[in-house]
Amino acid sequence: MRVVVAGAGLAGLTAAVELVQAGAEVTVLEARGRVGGRMHGVRLDDGLVVDGGAAYLGIRHTELLRLVRECGLEVVSTPMSGDSTFLLSGRTTTTASRVPPLDAVALGDLFDKLEELVGQVRPDAPWLSPNAEPRDRLTVAQWLAEHLGHPDARTFFPLFLGEMMAADPSAISVLHMAFYLNSGGGIRYLNAFEGGAQQWRIDGGAHRLCEVLADRLGDRVRLGQPVSRIEQNVDGIVVQDGAGSRHHADEVVVAMPPLLAQRIDFRPGLRTPRATPATGRGCAVKVHLGYPAPIWREHGLSGWSVSTNGPLLSTVDDSPPDDSAGVLTGFVTGAAASAFSALSATGQRDAVLAHVGRLFPRLPRPTKYAVTDWLSDPHSMGCYAALFGPGDWLSLGPTLTEPHGHVHFAGTETSMEYFGLMEGAIRSGRRVAAELIRGDAAIPTSEEALAR
């Protein structure tokens, strides 16, 4: 069996390795000059690489933890010792809690409403959930206006949504929000460091996992070769890359974000789209600030912060485990990410440094600085994951994992478990590999049907 895998992110590489182990002849085509997709190591200093993309994992991410062990890698804890910092409406405060100093009753009411929504969605098929249609037509911003009256709840909610999903409330449906939070293990798990989804990082950077998988595949991985066309006929499949090279296959795995998969010229054409005009980019920019050491700890601070005004809506301590350097990672998400991405490099740097000066006035100026802008990345079109807008789950959900003839789809956005996370990417890659190894019947394209 000849298989072409389009995309050398975690899903594509996972599928490719398992197919090779089963005896398939595999070629992996990747548009970038590197592997990893939305897992990207950024060199902040000599010997210091930080996670520009996906970074965190927890105890429930069983397939990811197993793969980390198989690849000979280690996990390290995300440090959270010390007080949190909050910059709310221009006022900076510190507290031992991660809960911002806002009205506790209003925040409690917010989370009660969210828990109720999350509990009503079907994680295996959200489009079949009770009230799926009205909830998929309603944006989260509209839901917010109808259900949250207290100003503190309205202030906090976009910050929470940005941290969890890198989304602006106006860009996603209520059904998508509820499904995402359910799929990831629930609100409490997703939001937690110790015992939660942000408990650990992969030592040396999450991208190392993809590099190990790519090393196993060797010259089967071909970089700088974006897939532009996939043509199926009774004689097989021809995959054409951006340079005009043609690759012959019996089966194809498309392991790309939906917006990129939609750009491929499928012949015959797709019966149902991979994305719609409502499908959005994950709105995330990561900013890394380097210091000689995690100096904030000397002042009793954890490095964790939340701000109502950007650009850094939150920060976290991502220093290496030996404390040989200090690393603050800032997250610019939602509408703030779009505004930040539009600034010049100088404008971005000035805004970040001014903000950090307000958050942590006792810290010196950082010695290192890096920005990873996923919104402007043409080979990802956003991060953490694609955002399903109004109507998307009703139109896209039933066919997310359905093959198009001999073309199969992987990627974290096709996983009903841990959608948007590294765990979801691995599970999707293993699902597709298992389908091909078992020889599950392909769904005929219109051209195959005519050939009969």
CA distance 392 to 86: 35
pLDDT the model gives residue 386: 97
C-alpha R_g of the chain: 22
- pLDDT-based confidence at residue 205 (cuts at 50, 70, 90): very high
Of the segments 86-90, 98-102, 359-363, which one has the largest average pLDDT value? 359-363
The per-residue pLDDT for range 104-142, each reduced to its tens digit, is 999 999 999 999 999 999 999 999 999 999 999 999 999
> What's the pLDDT score for residue 447?
53
What's the whole-number mean pLDDT along residues 332-356? Answer: 96
How, if at all, do strands 227-233 and 265-267 pair?
A: parallel
Main-chain phi, psi angles of 406, to 5 degrees: -105, 20
Q: What is the mean pLDDT of residues 392-411?
A: 96
Average model confidence (pLDDT) for the chain?
A: 94
Average pLDDT in the 148-164 region?
92
Higher-confidence residue of 439 and 200: namely 200
Distance CA 13, CA 213 (A): 6
As given in the structure block, the two tokens for residue 7 are 């995309």
Q: Which residues of 261-299 are buried (b: 16+ CB within 10 A; e: fewer)?
A: bbebebebebeebbbbebbbbbbbbbbbbbbeebbbbee
What are the binding residues for substrate?
A: 331
Q: Per the annotation, where are the binding residues?
A: 30-31, 227, 331, 413
Element (H, E) at 110: helix 104-119
pLDDT of residue 244: 85
- pLDDT value, residue 259: 97
Q: Are strands 314-317 and 326-333 parallel, antiparallel or unpaired?
A: antiparallel
Q: Beta strands 227-233 and 236-241: pairing type? A: antiparallel
Q: CATH classification of 101-185, choosing from 1.10.405.10, 1.10.3720.10, 3.40.1280.10, 3.30.750.24?
A: 1.10.405.10
pLDDT of amino acid 451? 41
pLDDT recorded at residue 79: 86
Residues 117 and 30: their CA atoms lie apart, in Å, by 38
| Residue 291 confidence (pLDDT) above 80 | yes
Is the pLDDT at 200 greater than 60? The verdict is: yes
Domain boundaries, the chain: 2-37+207-275+391-451, 101-185
pTM of the shown model: 0.94
The residues with which 202 forms a beta bridge, in sequence order, are 75
Whether the predicted pLDDT of 441 surpasses 90: no
Alpha carbons 187 and 354: distance in angstroms, whole number? 32
Rounded CA-CA distance 201/244 in Å is: 39
Single-letter amino acid code for the residue at 263: R
pLDDT at 243: 83
Q: Under 8 Å CB-to-CB from 244, ≥6 apart: which residues?
A: none
Reduced to 3 states (helix: H, G, I; strand: E, B; else coil), residue 233 is strand
197, 56 Cβ separation under 8 angstroms: yes
Cα–Cα distance between 27 and 427 in angstroms, integer? 20
User: Minimal CA–CA distance to 30: which of 159, 213, 183, 169?
Assistant: 213
Confidence of residue 309 (pLDDT cuts 50, 70, 90): confident
Identify the pLDDT of residue 90.
86
Which residues fall within 8 angstroms of residue 439, CB to CB, at 6 or more apart?
A: none
pLDDT score recorded for residue 452:
34
In the predicted structure, residue 448 carries a pLDDT above the cut 70: no
Q: Reply yes or no on whether the pLDDT at 274 is more than 60.
A: yes
- The SS3 assignment for 160 reads helix
Q: Which among 413, 430, 404 is positioned nearest to 37, based on CA atoms?
A: 413
- Looking at beta carbons, which pairs linking 129-132 to residues 24 or more positions away fall under 8 Å? 129/175, 129/178, 129/179, 132/175, 132/393, 132/394
2-37+207-275+391-451 has which CATH code?
Answer: 3.50.50.60
Q: Percent of the chain, pLDDT > 90? A: 91
Q: What is the mean pLDDT of residues 6-10?
A: 98
| Residues 6+ positions from 380 with CB-CB distance below 8 Å | 37, 38, 257, 260, 374
Binding residues for FAD, by number, are 30-31, 227, 413
- Give the model's confidence band at 446: pLDDT under 50 very low, under 70 low, under 90 confident, else very high: low
Beta bridge partners of 267: 231
